[in-house]
Every structure is written in C-alpha cells, then in structure tokens.
Amino acid sequence: MPAHKSPLDNLPIAANTVPTGVSTGVHVLPTDAIPDQNKVVNETLEDYTLRYAPHSFRKWTPRVVAITALGGIAYLADFSIGASIGLAYGTTNAVLSILFAAMIIFLTGIPVSYYAARYNIDLDLISRGAGFGYYGTVITSIIFASFTFIFFALEGAIMAQGLKMGLGVPLWIGYLVSSFMVIPLVIYGMKVLSTLQVWTTPIWLILMVCPVGYVILQNPALVSDWSQFTGNGAYQAYDMGAVMLGAGVCLALIMQIGEQIDYLRFMPAKTKENSTSWWIAMLSAGPGWVVLGAIKQMVGAFLAFYLMAQMLPDNVITEPVQQFTSVFQSFIPGSFAIGLAVVLVVISQIKINVTNAYSGSLSWTSAYARVTKHYPGRIVFVIMNVGLALLMMEMDMFSFLNSILGFYSNFAIAWVVVVATDIAINKYLLKLSPKEPEFRREMLYDFNPVGLVSFGLAAGLSIAAFFGLLGEFLASYSPLIALVVGFVMTPIMGLITGGKYYIKQGDDGIDEPRFDSEGTPVATLYHCVDCNENYERPDVMYSTAHSGVICSLCKTLEK
C-alpha cells in the first residue's frame, strides 16, 4: 500500500446508494479539470460498455435476464445453415454435424457463462484475465465484432428477402430498411432490449413452431423419407469428412456465446434465496442457447427436403422466408401465408439484429478505447457495425454462407476454447491464476503468452488445414484442429510460464476485498477522483499518479 496514502483515501460511500453532496474523504478534481473523454455520466445509455455492470444497475430477475438473452437467438440463419449442410451432405451427416457442434458449444459455454453471470463482466473483460492480457484481447474483440456484423448481414438479407416476397420491395431497399430500423432500439441498451425481447418471444415461438408441427402431423412419413436423404453431393450416408465440414459451419456459431454473455452480465447476485433460479437462468440462457439453435438447424434441413418436392432450386429452398411461406401455405390461403411468413421474418430479424448491433458496438468500443485512449461513445460503433453489415449485404454474402462461416469458425473456436480451458483448467484445476477475474489495466500485463500463443497456434493451424495446406485429408478437419490445439496448448503454456503473466500486481491499494467470502462482487461505492463519479468496488483501484481512487474507465483512457 502506498506509504503516502491517507487512511481516508479509501473511505467508501454506503453500499448500493449514490448520495449527492457527501464528502468521501478523497481528492475530487474540479469539474472543469475533467477531460471530456473521461466523463461517461449516462451509463444507462452506455450500458457499462467497458466495465463491470454494477449491482445498483442490475435490477432484473434471473428469469427476465434469461428471456432477454434467449430472445437474441431468434435468428433465422440457423434454418439456412441446416438447409445448406443438409442438401450438401445428407441428413445423417448433417444431424451428426449439428449434434457434434452443439456439444462443443455447450461445454465451452459453461465456464464463460458462469463467469459472466457470477462476476458481471462481458467476454472481452473475461478474456483479459483468462490468458490474453490487457491489450491481447484487442484482436479477440475484433473477431467478436466481425461475428456480429456477419450475422447482422445474414439476418438483414433474410429480412430483405421477406420484404421482397411479401411487399415487392427491391432487395437494396430491403437491406437499408433492415439495417437502420434497429438503431433507435439499440441506443438505449438493456432497458429497452429486455422489454422488446420479453414481449416478442411468445409471438415468435408460435409463428415458428406451429406451422412446422402441422406439416409433420399431416404427413409423418416425411420424417422417415428425410432421414434417408443422402444429399446432393457424392458423400456416403455416414462420412466423417462430411460431418466435420458441416460441423465447421455450425461451429461458427460458437461466438454466439459472446452475445448471450452481453445479457448475462446483468444477472443479479447469486444468493441462497435465488440460487436455483439463478443456475437455471445461467445454464439455459448461456450454453443452453445451443439446444434451440440445434433444433432450428435440424428443422431447416427438414424444410429444405420438404421444399425439394416443389422443384425449387437449392439457392431458393435455403431461404427461410421461402421455407416458412411454403409451410404456411399448406394450411392457409396464399396471401395470408406470405403475410405470416413476413411477420415471422421481421420479428426474428429485429430480435437478433438489435443484439448483433448492441454486442458489436460493445466490442468495437472496447478495442478502440484501449488502443486510442479515447472514448467516442458506444453509439458511434452501433452505426459503424450496421454500416459494415449493410456493405456485406450489398455484396450478396448470403450466396457464400457456408464458405464464410467455415472460414470464420476457425478463429471463433480457437478463442472460445482457449478462454474456457483457461478458466476450467488453468484457474480451477491447476490454480495458475486467481479464480476471480481481473480486467483493470494496471493489474494486468499487456500481453499474456498463455492465451495468445495457444490461440495463434490453434487458429493458424486450423486455417492452414482449411485451405488445404496440411493435406487434402486434414482440410475437412480444420474445426477439430482448432478445438484440440486450443484445448491442449492452453494448460501447456500455463505450465511453461508458471502463471507468471496473469497478474501484474496483487494489491490494488484498497483495503476492502473486491469479492466477499462467497465470491460475490462487493457493492460498496467509491468516488473516482478523475471523473468525479461513484463506482462499485470491483471497478476501482488506488492510483498513485492521482493520489486517490480511480475507476477502470479513467485508467483505460489514461495516456
């Protein structure tokens, strides 16, 4: 602890309150001396973009947080993915691909979801102390941001297809509409998004489940015929190479856990009273999202087979709007069927793309602020993310769905597997670093070779395999290479470095621990001497340069 520090420097404000006009015993800079870029007062608009989500803001129940998070997986791209791999590799190979990918996504999602819900931080902040270091996660932030605008573009393209079919809107106008309509909803963050997701989820479920259920009940033999479909390619009914190729496409969705976490970080503190509901919400909205995702992919493969009887080309029957229009038309007159399909597409697109725009803005902001030491506000990156997605739509990325997702999955698998392995093995089993997460700039090394080397090897080797540089046989197994190398190298690198690069210093200069005896973040408020705002204990540290307590954002922006 600094020798010159006054005993009053760490005097906290009463927990869970933000009183005004109360002296905290810390030095406070005059308002006109506070740099503009350091002042982010309206945290409701910013949704704690770069920091821990405080107890005072987390007023939602576990159930509401879970429904909000699950509302983000309403996307229809799953149906396209399932249809594409079903047509290419056949039903058996497609189903095995989907189940294999789902198992990996579920297992890797458990540790990172638990960390997000327990400690109220997003995947970027988790990764900083889980093998990557403070600046090491800049590259992973960009990888995650890329995921959000890729899937924004996919969903926007699906909505534009629906608007064209139902209303005759040209595709380029549909791209514009699907892009810019989400911006007003995203600006206000969790408060508006939770209401939107809770109210639209029942309508979305009815429109998605009922028509598919009706088709199966009317013609049960379709399921049997579909199970024997071997695809349009030259693959056997069971082909391990085809399974891995299909799994590579599905595993691109492993990055969806980052969007789930952006909601899970607002979970209330886990207590004895809410323990059961807390665990159910965390597991269902965290790794459990993939259960519904896998079901949607299988349904997509089934619907593509169902539409083949109508002699439509493959590029049409992989479009969800075509799939659901045909299903609705099996029991509803044509114009009404098209209308219902368009409603389903629009609701689904809004539900997922507010999440894509929201999560992408968080990730871009985090990377930008750390590199430039400037905070332009999250809204700037909402618009940027939407603009990138619009560009991809205009480039007709929907036609190259499998290739784009298959390539991207190599990066996504490598990152998530390394972080999940670091938490489960390096922290809990090998005890190479503290179990509690650390994300503050002064407490971390800039780069941690454990995560960076493991990620680099996993992603590099898998991409080399993907492009055939490791031989024709291994080209099909690139996702498995990313998975195995990331899982094996993370503990090896942890042991080689002896856990040296996880924590730069063990004492943040404040006597009160950040977490109580049960591991729950402490809610005591401290006054930041730089931006003149109050922040909870996990988000602050003592700064010798400022001769007082400083918040993590001011430390991030400090030049």
Short-list 166, 157, 163, 160, CA closest to 337: 166
What is the per-residue pLDDT for 106? Answer: 96
Please say whether the beta carbons of 154 and 401 come within 8 A: yes
What is the per-residue pLDDT for 33? Answer: 35
What is the per-residue pLDDT for 2? Answer: 38
Q: pLDDT tens string for the chain (559 positions)?
A: 333 333 234 444 433 333 333 223 333 333 333 333 334 445 444 567 678 888 888 888 898 888 888 776 777 888 988 998 999 899 999 999 999 999 999 999 999 999 999 999 988 899 999 999 999 999 888 888 888 888 888 888 888 888 888 888 898 898 898 888 888 777 666 566 667 777 777 887 888 888 888 888 888 888 889 988 888 777 777 888 889 888 988 888 898 898 899 889 999 999 888 889 999 999 999 999 999 999 999 999 999 998 887 766 666 788 888 888 888 888 787 778 888 888 888 888 877 788 788 888 888 888 888 888 887 777 888 888 889 989 888 888 767 766 787 788 889 899 999 999 999 999 999 999 889 999 998 899 999 999 999 999 999 999 999 998 998 888 888 889 999 999 999 999 999 999 999 999 888 999 999 998 888 999 999 999 988 888 999 999 998 888 899 998 888 888 7
What is the per-residue pLDDT for 314? Answer: 66
- Which tokens hold the place of 438? 């650390």
Q: What is the pLDDT of residues 46-95, one digit of tens each?
A: 567 678 888 888 888 898 888 888 776 777 888 988 998 999 899 999 99
Q: The pTM is what?
A: 0.83
- Which tokens hold the place of 510? 């404040």
d(CA 264, CA 250): 23
d(CA 246, CA 479): 10
What is the enclosing helix (H) or strand (E) of 441? none
Maximum alpha-carbon separation in the chain: 81
Please say whether the beta carbons of 158 and 319 come within 8 A: yes
Torsions phi, psi for 415 (to 5 deg): -65, -55
What is the per-residue pLDDT for 165? Answer: 82
Q: Which residues contact 202 (CB under 8 A, 6 or more apart)?
A: none
Please say whether the beta carbons of 98 and 308 come within 8 A: no
What is the per-residue pLDDT for 482? Answer: 93
Q: What one-letter code names the amino acid at 496?
A: I
Q: Which residues contact 48 (CB under 8 A, 6 or more apart)?
A: 54, 57
Q: What is the pLDDT of residues 374-432, one digit of tens each?
A: 877 778 888 888 899 898 888 887 677 667 877 888 898 999 999 999 999 999 999 99
- Which tokens hold the place of 295? 């079901």
d(CA 153, CA 512): 46
What is the enclosing helix (H) or strand (E) of 536? strand 534-536
How many Cβ atoms sit within 10 Å of the Cβ of residue 292?
15
Half-sphere exposure of 290 (CA within 13 A, CB side): 26
What is the per-residue pLDDT for 464? Answer: 94
What is the per-residue pLDDT for 38? Answer: 39
Q: Which residues contact 494 (CB under 8 A, 6 or more apart)?
A: 131, 422, 425, 426, 430, 432, 433, 450
Count of helices and strands (H, E) across the chain: 23, 4
What is the enclosing helix (H) or strand (E) of 483? helix 478-497
- Which tokens hold the place of 501? 């690069």
- Using CA atoms of 243, 246, 247, 248 in order, give the dihedral in degrees to the nearest 10: 130
What is the per-residue pLDDT for 402? Answer: 66
- Which tokens hold the place of 192? 């508006």
Q: Which residues contact 258 (CB under 8 A, 6 or more apart)?
A: 122, 123, 144, 147, 359, 363
Q: Which residues contact 536 (CB under 8 A, 6 or more apart)?
A: 52, 54, 55, 56, 521, 522, 523, 524, 525, 526
Q: Which residues contact 372 (CB under 8 A, 6 or more apart)?
A: none
What is the per-residue pLDDT for 493? Answer: 97
Q: Which CATH architecture has domain 46-396+403-497?
A: Orthogonal Bundle (1.10)
What is the per-residue pLDDT for 7? Answer: 29
d(CA 434, CA 268): 23
What is the per-residue pLDDT for 161? Answer: 85
Question: Cβ-count burial of 437 within 10 angstroms (0-12 exposed, 13-18 middle, 19+ buried)?
Answer: buried
- Using CA atoms of 529, 373, 45, 543 in order, give the dihedral in degrees to the nearest 10: -20
Q: Indicate the SS3 state at residue 217.
A: helix
Crossing angle of the two packed helices 334-372 and 190-218, in degrees rounded to 10: 140
What is the enclosing helix (H) or strand (E) of 184? helix 183-187
Torsions phi, psi for 432 (to 5 deg): -85, -15
Q: What one-letter code names the amino acid at 101?
A: A
- Map out the domains of the chain as residue ranges: 46-396+403-497
Short-list 362, 369, 359, 358, CA closest to 135: 369
